[in-house]
Amino acid sequence: MNIYSLTRDEMEEYFISHGSKKFHADQLFSWLYEKRISSVSEITDIKKDMLEQLERAFSFSKLKLVTVERDVDVCKYLFELYDGEHIEAVLMRHDYGNSVCVSSQVGCNMGCKFCESGRRKRVRNLEVYEMVIQLLMIEEDLGERISHVVVMGIGEPFDNYDNLLKFLLIINHPKGLAIGARHITVSTCGIVPKILEFSEFPLQINLAISLHAPNDTLRDKIMPINKAYPLKELISALEVYLSRTNRRITFEYIMLSGVNDSVECAKELVELVGHLNCYVNLIPYNETNNLEFKRSSTVQIMKFYDILKKNRLGVTIRREFGSKISAACGQLRSKKEEL
């Protein structure tokens, strides 16, 4: 077990169940996340025999940073895991702060037709610490704080639900990485039971839904998950989510030329989500090796945008990051693994 997998509450339980004091949890959190120790020997305010016990029970090691590709306002980090697998995370520098896109699984089983990341099936879920340490090591490399996190890298976060929640608790905790819940976004392709569960999670995390199609016929074709949870079920789960949380959700909609970018689709989209407290993020498709899909023209994107706007839907067009270094949405497959 790696120490960076433990939430603050779990640490308290650990100390109590080992005949020690629960306030050590705060101290240990502060050593790990404020002082950023690299070994147990640096800890000065916990008794020696307790420290020895901790060292026996937990690994304090981080990941191996293999490479960093740097561009003006974006960096891609490639990490190696204990079993030789690789994951990627992307840092984006915005004027409002540093935002990191983290991966949640090795590979992905959702099989979205346009997505490069899913070409490799899920090998395993990431452990909590493997997600937490992506952030710690990027902060270390950067020498600056990460202010925003999006769980939009490789993997389906709601397919690794328990670890995801612990990760969120640790990075949000004031003595952890102290990243405000409203600065954290989890993106899902629409796993309905988990959306319902997530609506009861106490932190005010943002939820984004990868929608990409306004009707079942089309969504079935490009996102196999739609066969398990068709739009009617998805939308009614989101209605429950919205009524429980009073929050606003984001719909992500990739613009695929000739597939989902027609005027007709825009109107259907208004019909589908117009009654919800939401906004739509139009994403220019990052073309990949998959020749089946092409990016919509700017003219077509603007036409689509105008229809949503005229119908009073909140809509934005996503700024593009990282296409030069293959760190753009859906392109996170390390070159290493393509070989």
Q: How many other β-carbons are positioned within 10 Å of the β-carbon of residue 275?
A: 10
Nearer to ligand SAH, 139 or 156 (CB): 156
- Is 112 part of the annotated catalytic residue set? no
Minimum distance between the CB of residue 222 and ligand SAH, rounded to whole angstroms?
9
Minimum distance between the CB of residue 283 and ligand SAH, rounded to whole angstroms?
5
Q: At what angle do helices 298-310 and 263-273 cross, to 10 degrees?
A: 40
Nearer to ligand SAH, 53 or 109 (CB): 109
Minimum distance between the CB of residue 20 and ligand SAH, rounded to whole angstroms?
39
Nearer to ligand SAH, 98 or 210 (CB): 210
Q: What is the DSSP letter of 34?
A: T
Of 101, 108, 189, 329, the catalytic one is: 329
Nearer to ligand SAH, 79 or 285 (CB): 285
- Write out the residues near ligand SAH by the rule CB under 6 A: 110, 112, 114-116, 152, 156, 187-189, 210, 252, 254, 283, 285-286, 288, 329-330
Minimum distance between the CB of residue 328 and ligand SAH, rounded to whole angstroms?
6
Minimum distance between the CB of residue 158 and ligand SAH, rounded to whole angstroms?
8
Nearer to ligand SAH, 7 or 331 (CB): 331
- 326: closest CA among 288, 300, 296? 288
Nearer to ligand SAH, 123 or 178 (CB): 123
Runs of H (alpha helix) within the chain = 8-17, 24-33, 48-57, 128-142, 161-172, 192-198, 216-222, 225-228, 231-245, 263-273, 298-310, 335-338
Reduce the DSSP state of residue 169 to 3 states and report it.
helix
Of 12, 88, 139, 156, the catalytic one is: 88
Residue of this chain nearest to ligand SAH (CB atom): 330
Residue 48 burial (CB < 10 Å; 0-12/13-18/19+)?
A: exposed
- Is 329 part of the annotated catalytic residue set? yes
Produce one character per residue of 196-221: b if its CB has 16 or more CB atoms within 10 Å, e if not: eebbebeeebbbbbbbbbbbeebbee
Minimum distance between the CB of residue 163 and ligand SAH, rounded to whole angstroms?
15
User: Could you tell me the sign of the dihedral formed by the alpha carbons of 254, 260, 262, 268, in that order?
Assistant: negative
Can you tell me the distance from the alpha carbon of 208 to that of 149, in angstroms, rounded to the nearest whole number?
13
Tokens describing residue 316: 């934005």
Rounded to a whole number of angstroms, the CA Rg of the chain reads 21
Catalytically active residues are 88, 329
